[in-house]
């Protein structure tokens, strides 16, 4: 972060801090260098896989760079002993390290970033519900103050565990998340979790299995076009996947797509990848395009819920250039697990109200989890109840990436000239642009500068020896919310020109009134949406 960016970063952090303090949060600073033993205790030393940076100290002991802090805060919370010490909301704004497969997009996905993560500790589920609701509301205020339009969606809890989570999203083409939204009701869910209605198919009466030759047919589409083939919705798509080293057949309808996160959530697998053609051949004796699960018993089979009860389906026969028709899924395939694996498509019916759903590209700007007792049981975070019984505390975990929210604010607030910072997080709220550097300009400029600063405005004076056009362009590019221009014509009338970056409105204001009119306007925007 260079100086202007760091000022924005700290303003974002301070807004987050202000709202978390408001719900009773207490700020900590816990380490980012963690002994492996703590992560081994929760099982996440292995579960985190390649995303975790690991190193060894001089004693050859394994260490990790913190990816998140559930384990560390739970270790501290093990000091709690009584219900009288609850509830607690603890947080810090600390650096996280993640060895991302594809770091990209400026500040959106980076390997080292500041995050506010808070953790709640409550005596019971009702307490956790209240802490979760308080964070939900605080997060909405934070995004409002950052100038980021946000909405909450149902999300996968992924590697965090726990039983409920809400992600906050802002629509942006720069994002990496697809969110399913119903235009009519409030249904919104990450595509990793979203469901939709699937129209029932008329399969007719069950028939017998029948192998048939399909020379050269290797795709769903080719089998649709093949004489005696089947339309995609009547085909079984068999994906050979490797789940934590185990070859597994994953079955979805021919015209459906697998969502890998759903597969991870359904199976608890950590490393998921498609099998190579060689691995698939070794497992099933045929090449991709001719594979199927009929009669397979040596490998686990997981099938999508949309295939339950389907008959007269067509699939690969595990022999190149052969397929089999008349498949009765329940009769002919040894399905070991049924799960929702299908990725929802735009236009399908909303699971709540049947309206055609939309899929919107979004940036994830916050994520809150109900963890329950998963970590408190592991780390011994137990307290005595009023009745004297000892119980594990109910935990919640709540994260906001600071740099990512800076980036999301820019994605939302910009035009073709540059950034349009909301006043609340602008590096400076007003820039005084001197068109000339003579005594008259410098004196008037410094007077306004001192006056604005005395009135609490974050002001900057552009007294660089540069052309006015360069100064104007820089002010627009950087995105200062207000530009106060001092030029010879205005000064002759005792006036300055005030330009609003967001609206482009320009007006001449008498120098004597400038601070008194502008400072309150800026203060109002700065605090818009603030609690209390
Ligand atoms: Zn709906």
Distance 193 CA to ligand 1 centre (A): 15
Distance 267 CA to ligand 1 centre (A): 28
- pLDDT confidence of residue 104: 79
Distance 236 CA to ligand 1 centre (A): 29
Neighbours of ion ligand 1 (CB under 5 A): 182, 184-185, 187, 350, 352-353, 355
Distance 25 CA to ligand 1 centre (A): 35
Distance 123 CA to ligand 1 centre (A): 36
Distance 136 CA to ligand 1 centre (A): 22
Distance 137 CA to ligand 1 centre (A): 23
Which domains, from first to last, does the chain contain? 3-176+362-412 (3.30.930.10), 210-339 (3.90.960.10), 421-526 (3.40.50.800)
Distance 100 CA to ligand 1 centre (A): 35
Distance 28 CA to ligand 1 centre (A): 42
Distance 344 CA to ligand 1 centre (A): 14
Q: Token pair for residue 520?
A: 């309150």
Distance 233 CA to ligand 1 centre (A): 24
The three-state DSSP-derived secondary structure of 132-190 is: HHHHHHHHHHHHHHHCCCCEEEECCCHHHCCCEEEEEEEECCCCCEEEEECCCCCCEEE
Distance 196 CA to ligand 1 centre (A): 10
Three-class SS state of 214 = coil
- pLDDT confidence of residue 161: 60
The pLDDT tens digits of the residues spanning 154-207 come to 887 666 566 688 999 999 999 989 999 999 998 999 999 899 988 888 888 889
Distance 152 CA to ligand 1 centre (A): 15
Distance 343 CA to ligand 1 centre (A): 17
pTM of the model: 0.88
Distance 349 CA to ligand 1 centre (A): 8
Q: Are 91 and 114 in contact (CB under 8 A)?
A: no
Distance 359 CA to ligand 1 centre (A): 13
* C-alpha dist (Å) from residue 300 to 90, 267, 293, 295, 333: 43, 11, 10, 12, 11
Residues forming a β-bridge with 394:
122
Distance 449 CA to ligand 1 centre (A): 53
Q: Token pair for residue 69?
A: 């802090």
Q: Are 228 and 212 in contact (CB under 8 A)?
A: yes
* Radius of gyration (C-alpha) of the chain in whole angstroms: 29
Q: What CA–CA distance (Å, rounded) separates 453 from 432?
A: 12
Classify each residue of 58-78 as buried b or exposed e, where b means 16 or more C-beta atoms within 10 Å of its C-beta: eeeeeebbbbbbbbbbbbebe
Distance 186 CA to ligand 1 centre (A): 6
Distance 357 CA to ligand 1 centre (A): 7
Q: Token pair for residue 412?
A: 């939302």
Residues forming a β-bridge with 419:
414
- pLDDT confidence of residue 215: 94
Distance 337 CA to ligand 1 centre (A): 29
Distance 199 CA to ligand 1 centre (A): 16
CA distance from start to end of the chain:
32
Distance 188 CA to ligand 1 centre (A): 9
Q: Classify residue 35 by its DSSP letter.
A: E
Distance 356 CA to ligand 1 centre (A): 8
Helix (H) or strand (E) holding 120: strand 112-122
Per-residue pLDDT of the chain (532 residues; tens, 9 = 90+): 999 999 999 999 999 999 999 999 999 999 999 999 999 999 999 989 899 999 999 999 999 999 999 999 999 999 999 999 999 999 999 999 999 988 877 899 899 999 999 999 999 999 999 999 999 999 999 999 999 999 999 887 666 566 688 999 999 999 989 999 999 998 999 999 899 988 888 888 889 999 999 999 999 999 999 998 999 999 999 999 999 999 999 999 999 999 999 999 999 898 899 999 999 999 999 999 999 999 999 999 999 999 999 999 999 999 999 999 999 999 999 999 999 999 999 999 999 999 999 999 999 999 999 999 999 999 999 999 999 999 999 999 999 999 999 999 999 999 999 999 999 999 999 999 999 999 999 999 999 999 999 999 999 999 999 999 999 999 999 999 999 999 999 999 999 999 999 999 999 999 999 999 999 999 999 988 887 6
Distance 135 CA to ligand 1 centre (A): 25
Q: Are 142 and 414 in contact (CB under 8 A)?
A: no
Q: The tokens 């020109």 sit on which residue?
A: 497
Q: What CA–CA distance (Å, rounded) separates 133 from 274?
A: 39
* Beta strand segments in 385-446, E: 390-392, 394-401, 414-415, 418-419, 430-434
Distance 148 CA to ligand 1 centre (A): 24
Distance 448 CA to ligand 1 centre (A): 54
The pLDDT tens digits of the residues spanning 480-496 come to 999 999 999 999 999 99
In 3D, which of 332, 350, 343 has the Cα closest to residue 190? 343
Distance 181 CA to ligand 1 centre (A): 8
- pLDDT confidence of residue 103: 86
Distance 198 CA to ligand 1 centre (A): 14
Distance 517 CA to ligand 1 centre (A): 47
């Amino acid at each position: 972060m260079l100086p202007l960016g760091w000022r924005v970063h700290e303003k974002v952090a301070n807004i987050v801090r202000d709202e978390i303090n408001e719900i009773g949060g207490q700020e900590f600073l816990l380490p980012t260098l963690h002994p492996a033993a703590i992560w081994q205790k929760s099982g996440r030393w292995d579960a985190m896989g390649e995303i975790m940076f690991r190193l060894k100290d001089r004693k050859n002991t394994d260490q990790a760079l913190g990816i998140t802090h559930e384990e560390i805060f739970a270790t501290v919370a093990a000091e709690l002993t009584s219900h009288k010490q609850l509830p607690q909301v603890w947080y810090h704004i600390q650096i996280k390290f993640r060895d991302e497969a594809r770091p990209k997009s400026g500040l959106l996905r980076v390997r080292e970033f500041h995050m506010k993560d808070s953790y709640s500790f409550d005596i019971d589920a009702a307490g956790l519900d209240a802490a979760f609701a308080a964070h939900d509301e605080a997060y909405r205020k934070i995004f409002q103050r950052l100038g980021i339009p946000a909405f909450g969606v149902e999300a996968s809890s992924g590697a965090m565990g726990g039983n409920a989570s809400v992600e906050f999203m802002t629509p942006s083409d720069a994002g990496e998340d697809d969110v399913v939204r119903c235009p009519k009701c409030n249904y919104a869910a990450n595509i990793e979790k979203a469901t939709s209605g699937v129209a029932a198919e008329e399969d007719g009466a069950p028939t017998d299995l029948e192998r048939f030759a399909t020379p050269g047919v290797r795709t769903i589409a080719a089998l649709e076009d093949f004489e005696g083939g089947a339309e995609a919705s009547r085909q079984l798509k068999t994906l050979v996947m490797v789940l934590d080293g185990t070859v597994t057949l994953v079955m979805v309808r021919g015209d459906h797509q697998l969502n890998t996160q759903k597969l991870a959530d359904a199976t608890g697998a950590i490393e998921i990848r498609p099998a190579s053609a060689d691995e698939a051949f070794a497992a099933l004796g045929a090449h991709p395009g001719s594979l199927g699960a009929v009669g397979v018993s040596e490998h686990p089979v997981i099938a999508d819920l949309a295939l339950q009860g389907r008959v007269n389906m067509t699939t690969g026969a595990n022999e190149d250039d052969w397929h089999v028709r008349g498949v009765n899924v329940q009769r002919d395939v040894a399905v070991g697990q049924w799960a929702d694996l299908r990725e929802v498509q735009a236009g399908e019916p909303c699971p709540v109200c049947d309206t055609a759903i939309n899929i919107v590209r979004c940036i994830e700007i916050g994520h809150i989890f109900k963890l329950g007792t998963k970590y408190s049981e592991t780390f011994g975070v137990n307290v005595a109840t009023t009745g004297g019984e000892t119980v594990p505390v109910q935990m919640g975990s709540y994260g906001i990436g600071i740099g990512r929210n800076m980036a999301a604010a820019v994605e939302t607030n910009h035009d073709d000239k540059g950034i349009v910072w909301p006043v609340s997080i602008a590096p400076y709220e007003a820039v005084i642009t001197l068109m000339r550097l003579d005594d008259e300009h410098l004196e008037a400029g410094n007077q306004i500068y001192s006056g604005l600063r005395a009135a609490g405005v974050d002001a900057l004076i552009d007294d660089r020896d540069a052309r006015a056009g360069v100064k104007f362009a820089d002010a627009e590019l950087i995105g200062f919310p207000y530009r106060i221009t001092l030029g010879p014509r205005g000064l002759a009338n005792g006036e300055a020109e005030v330009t609003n970056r967001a609206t482009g409105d320009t007006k001449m204001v008498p120098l004597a009134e400038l601070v008194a009119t502008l400072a309150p306007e800026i203060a109002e925007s700065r605090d818009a949406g603030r609690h209390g």
